[in-house]
Amino acid sequence: MPLSTARIRRFANMAAQPGSCSYNEANKARFHKDGKAICRQLVKLMGLEKGQYNLRSNMGGIAVSGEVTLHTDGVYFQLSQSAVAGLEVMYRKCKDQKDYTGGRNRWMKFADLCDLEAVAKRLKIIHDAPNDQMADIALREAA
């Protein structure tokens, strides 16, 4: 069952507020639950099968949001709150599910998640590109 736009918007609004998960157990739990649901929806939209991705959640300490990570055979996608404005949702090209450094980091706003189909399309382009340079070319062509 697809996620409702309202649920994604609530997640994006809460997550975009710096510190909303710090020292707030309920918000942090919601961040991880909804973040994992968003990643599962991205998996479906990207057409990935079991074994082609890994979804994990690291709650971190009390003062941070922790992170929710979707790691596929071609893209590394991570949701976490940052103290730096504009560095919200990170994604990058990777070689496989054991590549934790990958290509250059790219960023989007939590609000971009409100159009999960567009996010999935962007991630699929990067996932399918043979290398980071080709991903840049394909992203420009798709824009």
The reply to whether the predicted model has a pTM over 0.75 is yes
> Rounded distance, CA 32 to CA 52, Å?
21
| Amino acid residing at 14 | M
> Rounded distance, CA 112 to CA 102, Å?
22
Q: How far is CA 77 from CA 24, 43, 54, 136, in A?
A: 24, 11, 10, 16
Strands (E), the chain: 53-58, 67-72, 75-80, 89-93, 106-108
> Rounded distance, CA 105 to CA 55, Å?
19
With CA atoms as reference, report the closest residue to 93 among 70, 141, 122, 127: 127
> Rounded distance, CA 58 to CA 68, Å?
6
**Cβ–Cβ under 8 Å, residues 36 and 3:** no
Helix, strand, coil abundance in the chain, percent, nearest 5: 45, 20, 40
Give the pLDDT score at 86: 67
Give the pLDDT score at 14: 93
Ordered by start, the domain boundaries in the chain are: 5-142
Give the pLDDT score at 33: 97
**Cβ–Cβ under 8 Å, residues 38 and 32:** no
pLDDT tens string for the chain (143 positions)?
A: 678 999 999 999 999 988 899 999 999 999 999 999 999 999 999 999 999 999 999 999 999 999 999 999 999 999 999 877 667 899 999 999 999 998 999 999 999 999 999 999 999 999 999 998 888 888 888 87
